[in-house]
Structure 1
Amino acid sequence: MKDRAIISLADSKYFELLNELIDSILSFEESKSVSICILDAGLQLDQIKILEKKVYKIVKAKWDIEVPEYKIKGREWLKSQVSRAFLPEYFPGFKKYLWIDADAWVNDWSSVELYFKGSDNKTLSISSSADRAYGRVLRADWIFSNIAFIRSQNYKHSKSSGFSNKICREVALKPHLNIGVFCLENDAPHWLVWQTNLKQALKKGRIFGSEQIAMNISVYCNQMKVQILPTYCNWFLIENIKFDEIKNTFVEPYLPHHKIGIIHLAGKKYDEFRFDKNKLLDVQSLNNNWIKKNIRFTK
């Protein structure tokens, strides 16, 4: 067993994406320095047999925090919103835990190393959804020409999860941290603080997104140490990605066109790509050519 683990979770519906994530990790020679661990949230037996040949360990995910059945409605994959806050308990013995959502894949190993490096000294390593290429990060509902209600993802989720007005206001205008990819050391204090905030979020709020707002509150209100990495480490605005035809890789749309580290197909608007391997994306190259590319990982 190595001292660094990369962990993900999937049910049978997300098996292909999970399998591609694993293949993308294994495509790098540097992957020999990590152990790949999987949380099973409803995988089929034949799928598990395929994965067992590629990964270090597969463990059945559970509801680590009790959630009412009416919130679950048979969606066992929602365990990912809870289980990731308990990774050292599922896979003990590692020094560092890097979580990557199943609908993401590794395009450049240097971003993986940044996540591991950023978690040194009991620090959360994570990226945000605020980026020069992403455009609007807040929403304003204009009442009059100079008066508006400001809305943000952090404010909406903290409010719906029953946190105090003080906390909601404190996180409202902060860069939203995306928990789809993050890294923590096994003894970082974040785990317990995150779990406490997650329990609070699950009491009133929806399951989906609960772990994300709980971590944002842990960082911005509980003052947990954080390294906020560049957005190319967890890129999820697929429609404005560009392609370097010379280097044969996806890059940021603006100079210096840094290579995208992890491509993340997060959000319902990317369902067609998540569930259709043959769906192609129209991408502008750095040579200003429009080309069709598969945004999924391919060997």
Structure 2
Amino acid sequence: MKKNVIVSLADSNYFELLNELIDSIKSFEKSKDIAICILDAGLSNEQRTILSKKVDEIKSAEWDIEVPAFKVKGKEWLKSQVSRAFLPKYFPDYQKFLWIDCDAWVGDWNAIELYFKACENGKLGITQTFTPGYKDMSKVNWIFGQIAIIKSQNFKHAIKSKIGIDKARKLAFAPHINIGAFSLEKDSVGWITWQKNLEETLKSGNIFGSEQLAINMSVYINHLETEFLPHNCNWLVSNLLPKFNEKERKFVEPYLPNHNIGIIHLASGIWDGDKDMRVHKEIKIDIKTIENKTLSKSLRFGR
């Protein structure tokens, strides 16, 4: 019986991305020791059939915390904002869980091993959203003189979710944590802490982003013990483009020593005009190589 599992979720619109994520995982020999499980938030029967031949289990995602119907408005994929905080309920036979968003893919297996190592002893394994080369960590609107309105992602979501000004201030300039990849053990207290915060953020705030705010609260307010992994374990390409190592055929960090990128995450998309690479797989962009050349490449797996 496999003890460790990688879990993701998609609806029919993101099926191709999910399929590519699974293929990227299975491209590594060591993946044979890891289970792959999928939460279905609106896949077609045909898509489920295709996936069932590649993965260990598929379960239908649920609204594990009650959400008003007017907030959902037919967007069943928003279940990802809730159900990922309840993974042991869906897949109780596994001991260590690694979540990867379906708009991400695995480029180096070392990241997978780090996530499973990071969550030992009940800790949360996760990545903060910053790395050398980031130029803006938080945004402010300057009114006059030294007075400004804070526009950081954590603070904005905290205020909208009405979790209280004291909590919002604690989160205002804390390094943002992206929930697109994380690891937790089955019996970690982290699940309960996260779920309680998620119940609070869902009361007044938007569904989208609620789970991310809740995990930031768990780390920075409730002091959930956390193993912070390097940014190449969840590289947000919309914030900083990678470089490409032609010899190794791998995407790497853009600055020395150019470590391999373990998980490439297309969150927020890569845009060519009004077309998003996540939807339009033919889109390519200019990527610099470590050999000081420029290539026209896609950032999707296998392209």
The two structures share one fold, judged by TM-score above 0.5: yes
Q: What residue is the counterpart of 1:246 in the other structure?
A: 247
Q: What residue is the counterpart of 2:115 in the other structure?
A: 115
Report if the CA contact (8 A) 1:88-1:94 is conserved. Answer: yes
Q: What residue is the counterpart of 1:220 in the other structure?
A: 220
Report if the CA contact (8 A) 1:283-1:292 is conserved. Answer: yes
Q: What residue is the counterpart of 1:130 in the other structure?
A: 130
Q: What residue is the counterpart of 1:194 in the other structure?
A: 194
Distance 1:139 1:41 in 2: 33
Distance 1:138 1:187 in 2: 34
Q: What SS class does the counterpart of residue 15 from structure 2 fall into?
A: helix
Aligned residue pairs, count: 299
Distance 1:2 1:269 in 2: 35
With normalisation by structure 2, the TM-score equals 0.96
**RMSD of aligned residue pairs (Cα, Å):** 1.2
For each residue in 1:28-76, what CA deviation from the matched residue of structure 2 results, as whole angstroms up to 9, or x when unmatched?
0010111000000000001111000000000000100110111000000
**Superposition deviation, residue 262 in structure 1:** 0.4
**Superposition deviation, residue 288 in structure 1:** 1.7
Q: What residue is the counterpart of 2:180 in the other structure?
A: 180
**Superposition deviation, residue 166 in structure 1:** 0.9
Q: What residue is the counterpart of 1:103 in the other structure?
A: 103
**Superposition deviation, residue 245 in structure 1:** 1.4
Q: What residue is the counterpart of 1:11 in the other structure?
A: 11
For residues 268 and 28 of structure 1, do their structure 2 counterparts lie closer, same or farther at Cα, with a shift above 3 Å needed?
closer
Amino-acid identity (%): 53
Q: What residue is the counterpart of 1:233 in the other structure?
A: 233
Q: What residue is the counterpart of 2:288 in the other structure?
A: 284
Q: What residue is the counterpart of 2:139 in the other structure?
A: 139
Q: What residue is the counterpart of 1:27 in the other structure?
A: 27
Q: What SS class does the counterpart of residue 105 from structure 1 fall into?
A: strand
**Superposition deviation, residue 175 in structure 1:** 0.7
Distance 1:247 1:29 in 2: 17
**Superposition deviation, residue 150 in structure 1:** 2.9
Distance 2:57 2:113 in 1: 21
Distance 2:146 2:169 in 1: 21
Q: What residue is the counterpart of 2:54 in the other structure?
A: 54
Distance 2:270 2:289 in 1: 22
**Superposition deviation, residue 159 in structure 1:** 1.1
**Superposition deviation, residue 254 in structure 1:** 0.7
> Any residues of structure 2 matched to 1:199-210 within 5 Å, and which?
199-210=199-210
**Superposition deviation, residue 83 in structure 1:** 0.2
For each residue in 1:108-145, what CA deviation from the matched residue of structure 2 results, as whole angstroms up to 9, or x when unmatched?
00001111111011000000112222221101212224
What stretches of structure 2 of length at least 5 have no aligned partner? none
**Superposition deviation, residue 188 in structure 1:** 0.5
For each residue in 1:173-218, what CA deviation from the matched residue of structure 2 results, as whole angstroms up to 9, or x when unmatched?
1111110100000010011111111011111000000000001001
Report if the CA contact (8 A) 1:181-1:234 is conserved. Answer: yes
For each residue in 1:221-277, what CA deviation from the matched residue of structure 2 results, as whole angstroms up to 9, or x when unmatched?
111100111111101134521111122111111111111110001015556210111
Q: What residue is the counterpart of 1:267 in the other structure?
A: 268
